[in-house]
């Protein structure tokens, strides 16, 4: 048992302030446990979204000492003993109350993306995928939609370009569809013109904060940018594309 000090932002969309709480911390606790103890002992009206406490639901995203993290995966023993722990809601999304933000904008972006479009079934009625093809897109399917990447992306966070760029999470979704061996939908033009791949300046903060360690930039966004180059900026690739025709429907 050791007493620790927390500065938790309390408020709503009209504003608020940091409130200091001192609570006892037990061995093995994570930040989300500490928040629950604050709710139990000091502030029963403190709002915090959470669900699985196992780093798999993506609900308890917050900014802990300035870093976007999952509260349930941030161990208390990762801080110095006398360190004051500052907890804030995500910056990129509107605050509902205390640590809870309105992330519904993300769901709207998801709806804009054309889903997987399979080709007609082969004669035996079975689609076939090999493990080597599954491996690449499997990485993208690990996403738990915590939106830490959306939160840390400066295009959304500081430049406020939500109308231009769908953000790293949905670039990863687009990559998982575009690189799917059975997909027949062509999204490249939209990736450039509507989803805003050019707004990403690949500073890799999305990769740095991803709790699932998805290589968002290297394996998702940069390959999509290269596909956009193939289609729009590389005269040789454009010529080859015209000669050999489109593999996917437009």
Partner 1 sequence: MNQTKTEAHSTKFASTNRTDLWWLEPAATGFGFLCFVVYTTWAMFQAGYYYAAPYLSPLYSPVLMVDPSAPGAAPVAHAWFGTWPPWWPKFLPPSPAMLVLFGPLAFRLTCYYYRKFYYRSYFATPPACAVTALPQNNYKGETGFLLFQNIHRYTLYIAICYIFILAYDAFRAFFNHGQFGIGVGTVILVINVLLLAHYTFGCHAYRHLMGGRLDCFSCPNGKEHLGHNLWKKITTLNENHMFWAWVSMIWVGFTDLYVRMVSMGVWHDFNTWGH
Contact residues for partner 1, defined by CB under 8 A = 9-11, 14-17, 19, 63, 65-68, 83, 86, 88-89, 91, 95, 128-130, 132-133, 136, 152, 154-155, 157-159, 161, 165, 178-181, 183, 196, 198-205, 208-209, 217-218, 222-223, 225-230, 232-234, 247
Nearer to partner 1, 110 or 193 (CB): 193
Nearer to partner 1, 121 or 128 (CB): 128
Nearer to partner 1, 41 or 193 (CB): 193
CB of 23 to partner 1, least distance (A): 18
Nearer to partner 1, 52 or 94 (CB): 94
Is-contact 228 188, C-beta < 8 A? yes
Nearer to partner 1, 53 or 96 (CB): 96
CB of 1 to partner 1, least distance (A): 24
Helix, strand, or coil here: 40? helix
Is-contact 216 172, C-beta < 8 A? yes
CB of 73 to partner 1, least distance (A): 17
CB of 125 to partner 1, least distance (A): 17
Q: Residue 120's CB: how many other CB atoms inside 10 A?
A: 6
Is-contact 142 211, C-beta < 8 A? no
- Cα of 214 vs its chain's centroid, Å: 10
DSSP string over 231-248: HHT-HHHHHHHHHH--SS
CB-side exposure of 71: number of CA atoms within 13 Å?
26
């Amino acid at each position: 048992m050791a007493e620790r000090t927390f500065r938790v932002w309390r408020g709503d969309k009209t504003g608020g302030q940091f409130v200091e709480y001192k609570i006892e911390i037990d061995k093995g606790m994570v930040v989300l446990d500490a928040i629950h103890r604050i709710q139990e002992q000091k502030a029963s009206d403190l709002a915090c979204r959470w669900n699985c406490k196992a780093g798999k639901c993506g609900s308890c995203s917050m900014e802990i000492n300035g870093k976007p993290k999952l509260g349930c995966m941030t161990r208390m023993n990762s801080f110095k003993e006398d360190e004051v722990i500052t907890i804030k809601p995500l910056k990129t999304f509107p605050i509902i109350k205390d640590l809870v933000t309105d992330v519904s904008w993300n769901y709207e972006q998801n709806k804009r993306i054309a889903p997987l479009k399979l080709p007609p079934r082969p004669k035996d009625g079975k689609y076939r995928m090999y493990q080597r093809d599954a491996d690449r897109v499997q990485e993208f399917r690990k996403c738990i939609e915590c939106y830490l990447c959306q939160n840390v992306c400066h295009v959304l966070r500081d430049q406020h370009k939500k109308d231009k760029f769908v953000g790293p999470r949905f670039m990863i979704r687009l990559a998982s569809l575009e690189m799917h061996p059975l997909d027949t939908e062509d999204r490249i033009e939209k990736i450039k013109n509507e989803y805003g791949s050019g707004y990403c300046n690949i500073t890799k903060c999305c990769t740095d904060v991803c709790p699932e360690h998805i290589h968002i930039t290297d394996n998702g966004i940069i390959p999509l940018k290269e596909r956009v180059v193939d289609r729009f900026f590389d005269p040789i690739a454009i010529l080859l594309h015209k000669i050999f025709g489109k593999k996917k429907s437009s």
